[in-house]
Every structure is written in structure tokens, then in C-alpha cells.
Structure 1
Amino acid sequence: MGRGEPPGEITAEGAARPYAALRVGTHRLAILRDGAQTYHAMLEAIRAARSAILFETYILRDDETGRRFAEALCERSRAGVEVSLLYDAWGSDVSDEFLEELHAAGVRTLAYHPLRFHGRLAAFFARIYRRDHRKILVVDGTVGFTGGVNISDDYAVWGEEKRGWRDTHLRLEGPAVAELQFRFLRAWRRHRGAPIDERRHESRGRRPDPLVRIVGTALPGQHGAIGRVYRKSIARAQQRIRITNAYFLPTIRVIRALRHAARRGVDVRVIVAGTTDVPAVRFASRALYEAFLKAGVRIFEWHGRVLHAKTATIDGSWSTVGSSNLDTLSLRVNLEVNAVIEDAAFAAALERMFEEDLAHCREVTMADWHARPLWERVVGGFALLFRRWL
């Protein structure tokens, strides 16, 4: 059973205590809300590194946020820490000068699936289609991070008036960190990153943990693993399901699982993005509302800041925080990683966060859905045709 601590307050400098800090079995976990708490914790861990830093992100930008992280990574590299940075070539936007400064300090970088045409059209489009959407940071093999937060000013926290996107991240200490390390190193080696010093990455054992597990996609035997975990957990639900997912375009199987749960009396509530950076997804998602509303699923649209979080809790005991959206690309194609936690105190903290987020939401009713203007119905239906690529 975990022991929770009250949420921390964000200071003017953008630093903050975690939203909740808990012990779960042999793990120490901290729920981090938005960029302020996440960046503070990540930079603190990076600056304390003594041996190795493994850093993987979908979005890395050459902006104030990116430069702050680059400075911290360069400082540690100059101090003798082995620093490896893996970023997605499609999602990121970094200049040659930015990379040159990293390389000059000894930081090794690797772009995932750069868009180069090698003469085979199918291979070219496969590189575009499959992206590295994971967010992983491992420091000295003992401290890990994962969740939804990227490295960019979208999460701007450096000024008092800036709050940035709404997102959730997780800090971990314990056996699950070895699994994050394994996943990073496998991708690094497979895509021909610079040779690593194996002695710095000696794992204490990728041993299973029933309370805190790391689940991901794009590994042999784990294709669709996150979707299966969601479906099995939803199928077992008896009381309540709480999902926050920014890009809510579930596969048919997940749609069926949620509808069946609601029809058997489970209280299913979903927070989706009313304010988003990808309007096409919002329109396609809205086209699905009727199927959920008819089954009794309650849908709440978040408004204000852009919503980017990907979390869920079931029956106050099962939870997940990660990078995976509930859409086809995340569940079947992209590299993704989620932490799955089975602990009542952890679930209670996420449920409290869900309830607080409802204050920024408007519930969608069947009357609202039928009152959509004609142009929105047309756009939504058209966008739904391309749901597999959104």
C-alpha cells in the first residue's frame, strides 16, 4: 500500500514538489503534473548524474526549454558522465548549431527514423509512419521518468504567467527503472547509436514486479501490448473507470470494452481534448461520441490550455501513466511506453487529479452531439476515415 503526500505548489521559478509522492512495494514513485513539476524533477536528476544518462523523447526543440536541458546534459558530459540522447526526427525541431554544441560537449545523439529516401518507397513510408513517441529518462540506472511530457516551450513554465500544456509524468525509483533502461538501450543499439560503455549500464535485473510494471509497444512479442493491458483491465472493471486521453480515437476493441463496461453498470468517465494542437483528431473523436453516450459512457471535454495527458485508473486500484494515446498509431505502430501501477494510494492520487481536471471540462450530452453544425459533422466524418493515420 502506498503512502501519499499532499500536492506541492508551483513557485514563481517554475519549481515544485511532486503532485504526489508514494512508496509502492519496493518502488518510490512521484506523480508530476505539467511542465513545472516535470522539468524541475528531470533537471534535478540530470544534474545529480554521476555515471550515465539515457534520454529519449518524441519532441525536442531548440527553444528555451530545449536549451536548458541541453546545458544540463552538456555540463554532465563534460564532467565525465556518458550522455546518450535519442529523439524522433519527425517530432523534433533542432538546428545544426544546437546539435553541434551537444556533440562538442561529448553528448552522443541519435535521430530516430530520419526522413531519407533510399530508393524503396515502402521503406520510406514505413519510416514516416512509425515514430518514436516514447518519453524516457534514466539516470545512473536508478532513477527513471516516463509519461507524456516532451521537451519544448509548449509546456512553458519559465515565467509566472505561463502555465503551458496540461500533462502528467512519472518519476520512478526501483526495479522498473531497469526495464526503461533496457528499452532505451535496445532502440539505441538497433538504430546504430554510438557504442556505449556497458559497465555503466549493468542492470540490477529486469525482474518482474506485480505492483509496478513497464509495458510498451514495438518489441518482439509485445505488439499491441498496451492495448491488451487496457482491454483486460477494462473487462475486469466492476465499479469505475477514469480515463484522461488527449487524442482519443480508440481501436474497435477498446471501444467495445468501454461500452460493455458501461452497459454492465461501471461508471465510465473520459476526459478528452476540447482544446488541442491537432484539430483533425478532435473532429474525428467527436464523431465517435454517439456510440459511447448511448452505452452510458460520460464524456468531458477539456477547455483552456492544450490537453496532452495520457492516464487511467480502474476501480481505485489499477492505474497507468505513459506516452500512449488511445489511438491506432500508439496502440499498434509507434514506439510507446506506459507504467502500470497496481496500488490503491497511487490510484487515489490520480483520481483526485481527474476530479480537479473536471473543473476545466464541459460534459458532452447526446443533445449536444445532435446539435453539432452540419459542417462539423461533415469534417468529423471525413477525418474519421483517416483515423488510422491521425
Structure 2
Amino acid sequence: MIKTNDSFNISNNLELVYSGEDYFSRLEAIIREAQFQIHLQMYLFENDATGKRIVNALKEAALRKVEIYVLLDGLGSLSFPSELQKDLKYSGVNIRFFAPLFSTYTFYLGRRLHRKVVVADAKVALVGGINIADKYRGSATEKPWLDYAVQLNGEIAKPLQQLCHDLYFKKRQLGNKKIKSAFNIQQNTTVRILQNDWLKGKNEICDGYIKSIRHAKKEIIIVGSYFLPGIRIIRALKKASKNKVVIKLILSGKSDLPLTRRATCFLYGKLLSYNIELFEWNESVLHGKVAVVDGNWSTIGSFNLNNLSSYGSLEMNVEILSETFSVRFQTHLNEIISQCQSITPESLKTKTTIMTKFINLMAYVVTRIVELVVTYTPYKRFYN
């Protein structure tokens, strides 16, 4: 069994973080040790045991006169209790919602805050795909959803705090000021902050995936929780396969979105025809969105390989150019693969009936239609 609480660090400035207690103990420590300012931006913040634990840490920080700004997605955190919002505000925590689902004049469906970022004092940050909820922390009887983040210490946290500040206060532009996004944290290790917000012309994460896949020479490993890539990524994977690159996809055996999983299953035949190796993770729900290419390029964050992340959501990933980090992360992902169920043309043929093919097809069609509607809606609203 993988020990997902054994994090590794490349320097004092960069550490891989796992879902489970590893992430939440770090999050609590960051809040507890903050002295001046905290920005917390999340898609999902549940009012369960884990959520209450973080709420208490935030309230304690507010008592120390730490400035706290919490930004939650209006859809993802729709169930966040209004009484808890009032309690936080009364305690001195600033909190608001990004694109509330219901407002005075409209029902808003579309552009979502999907990134998961925490920054304290412009000195330390957590960036990844992990939301605040019991399911990401796990319990004595339930394994945490499989996901990842990175902890960034030092100068690289400064632009992250600026980005969070600008979004919280609805700053539309920074004038001529350009935020630094790439940092050399040690010899042969470069870290970049990448964003995706298609409506604002930011396609950095998607472009980063495509560029790395196109330039791959040996091996690509992708963890895709809701894997429904657009045509550009499919073509890049197909070309890499023709160039004899080994491609491994770790996909959901268990999913919180059964329809999306069915839609992904519809692609299995095509992916296998490209000689792409498929593996399903069944130990827990798969929620990770990471990749490693050629043991020297890694990406970790909130970006899913589907059109919702590409065209409808605000996303953030950390891109790491480091052989040391990437080789160790690649080793970890290969250990994950050793616990997965391999999907081969033979096994797919055995377990796929005419009925399952039809169900998968319908799931794919419905999911694509939903993606189209959800991404078209904010486009029309934004430009009108």
C-alpha cells in the first residue's frame, strides 16, 4: 500500500503534498503560524469535521489580528451555511463567494472558481487540487480521495498572494505591472505559476500540457480524474504515441461523477488503439490532476483535462522543471499504477456489452452537451 503521507522535498522551497492528513496538517500549521495576512480560495468548503477544523483555525488567526480573506465558489460551496458565514464575519474573517449561483437579477451557471490556493504572509503557499472536506482527509475507515498539492515557501509566494488579492477585490487589471511567475528555486529546478481563465485570455496550463506532450521523448504519465480532453490534447497524445513515447493514463475506477466516468470509458477503445496504457484506480475516489513527462517536467494543480477546465473555470497549476522532483514523482506514480487495474483491449472486450457501449455513448454525448452549454453561458455573459 502506498504511504501517501510520506512527502518529499527538493529544497526548502518546494514540497510535494498528498491528500489526507499530510495536506490538512500543513494547512492548519500555515494558518496557525500566519502573522499578517491569509488568502484562502477554494471551490469546495464543506461544513463537516474537516471544515470545522479549518474554520476554527481561521477564527483563532483572526483573534490574533491576522487579515483573512476567504473566497469560495458560488456553486461548489453552495451548501456553505449562511449562519457560518455570519459567524466568520463576526470573528473578523472576510468572506465572499465567486459568481454566486443565484443573485438578485440572474441565475448564473458557468465560469467557476476551481483553483485551490492558500497563501500566508506572502511567504508560504499551498497550490493543488485538494478541497476542504472530510473526503479529502479520509478517516480510520475511509481512504482519502487521491489528490496532490505542492507547498511553496519563499519568494514564489509573493505573486500568489498578489493574484489572490486581485481576484478577491475584483481587480480587473494591474496596469503596466507584470507579476513574476517563474522562479529558479535552486540549480536545475524552475517553478512556474500557470493559470487558465479562457475568458481572460489565459490558457497557460492547457498550452503547457500540449507543449510537453508534443515534445515528449520517452514517457508520459497523466493522472486524470475527469478525463475528457479536447481535440488538441487527443491529437498531441496520438502524435506522441506514433513517436514511440510510452503513455500511461491513471483514470478513475471510482468516481463521484458516474456520468463523467462513463463518458471517459467511451474513449477507452480509441485510447487503446493509440497504444496508450490505461489504468483504473479503485482504492478510493480519484481526484488528482497531475502529470510527469520524461522525468523532468511535472504539473500539479486544479486543472482537469476537459473542456470545463479549458474554457469555463479559473484554474491554477504549478509547473516544475526539475529532474530530481520529476523522477521521484514519476516513481511514486508508478507505485500507484502497480495498485491499479490495467485496462487492455482484451479485458475491455470481455467486460463491455452492447448495452454498456450504448450507455457510455449516451454519457459521452450528454457530458459534451453539458460542457458546451456551461462554457458557452459565461462566454455570452462575459462579452455582453
Same fold (TM over 0.5): yes
Q: Distance in 2 between matches of 1:362 and 1:208?
A: 37
Letter in 2 for 1:89: G
- For 1:11-69, what per-residue CA distance to the aligned partner results, in whole angstroms no more than 9, with x for missing partners? xxxxx5x511112xxx7111111221000111111100000000000000111111000
Secondary structure of 1:248's counterpart equals: coil
Contact 1:175 1:207 in 2 (8 A): no
Residue 387 of structure 1 pairs with residue 367 of structure 2: yes
Q: Which runs of 5+ in 2 are unaligned?
A: 185-189, 372-384
- 2:57 alignment partner, one of 53, 72, 97: 72
Contact 2:226 2:306 in 1 (8 A): yes
Contact 1:175 1:206 in 2 (8 A): no
Q: How does 1:1-390 map to 2 (within 5 A)?
A: 18-23=6-11, 28-92=13-77, 93-116=79-102, 118-119=104-105, 124=107, 127-157=108-138, 159-190=139-170, 206=180, 208-209=182-183, 211-218=190-197, 222-371=201-350, 372-388=352-368, 389=370
Q: Distance in 2 between matches of 1:359 and 1:34?
A: 19
- For 1:64-118, what per-residue CA distance to the aligned partner results, in whole angstroms no more than 9, with x for missing partners? 1110000000000111100000011211121122212211110000111112255
Q: Distance in 2 between matches of 1:205 and 1:326?
A: 26
User: Identity across aligned pairs (percent)?
Assistant: 30
Deviation of 1:378 after TM superposition, in Å, equals 1.4
Q: Distance in 2 between matches of 1:162 and 1:97?
A: 29
Q: Distance in 2 between matches of 1:256 and 1:171?
A: 33
Evaluate the alpha carbon distance shift between residue 117 and residue 77 of structure 1 in structure 2; reply closer, same or farther with a 3 A threshold.
Answer: closer
Deviation of 1:207 after TM superposition, in Å, equals 5.5
Letter in 1 for 2:127: T
Contact 2:147 2:287 in 1 (8 A): yes
- For 1:343-366, what per-residue CA distance to the aligned partner results, in whole angstroms no more than 9, with x for missing partners? 011101211221121133111111
Contact 1:217 1:333 in 2 (8 A): no
- For 1:193-246, what per-residue CA distance to the aligned partner results, in whole angstroms no more than 9, with x for missing partners? xxxxxxxxxx99635336100111127764332111100110000010011111
Q: Distance in 1 between matches of 2:152 and 2:304?
A: 21
Contact 1:249 1:387 in 2 (8 A): no
Q: Distance in 2 between matches of 1:160 and 1:278?
A: 24
Evaluate the alpha carbon distance shift between residue 22 and residue 366 of structure 1 in structure 2; reply closer, same or farther with a 3 A threshold.
Answer: same
Contact 1:35 1:149 in 2 (8 A): no
Pairwise CA RMSD? 2.2
Match of 2:379 in 1: none
Contact 2:198 2:310 in 1 (8 A): no
Secondary structure of 2:113's counterpart equals: coil
Q: Which runs of 5+ in 1 are unaligned?
A: 1-7, 11-15, 193-202
Deviation of 1:140 after TM superposition, in Å, equals 0.4
Paired residues, number? 358
Evaluate the alpha carbon distance shift between residue 206 and residue 129 of structure 1 in structure 2; reply closer, same or farther with a 3 A threshold.
Answer: same
What TM-score do you get using the length of structure 2 for normalisation? 0.88
What TM-score do you get using the length of structure 1 for normalisation? 0.87
Q: Distance in 2 between matches of 1:331 and 1:176?
A: 25
Evaluate the alpha carbon distance shift between residue 228 and residue 204 of structure 1 in structure 2; reply closer, same or farther with a 3 A threshold.
Answer: closer
Contact 2:249 2:279 in 1 (8 A): yes
- For 1:271-327, what per-residue CA distance to the aligned partner results, in whole angstroms no more than 9, with x for missing partners? 000111001111100111122111111111111210111110001000000001100
Contact 2:181 2:192 in 1 (8 A): no
Deviation of 1:387 after TM superposition, in Å, equals 3.3
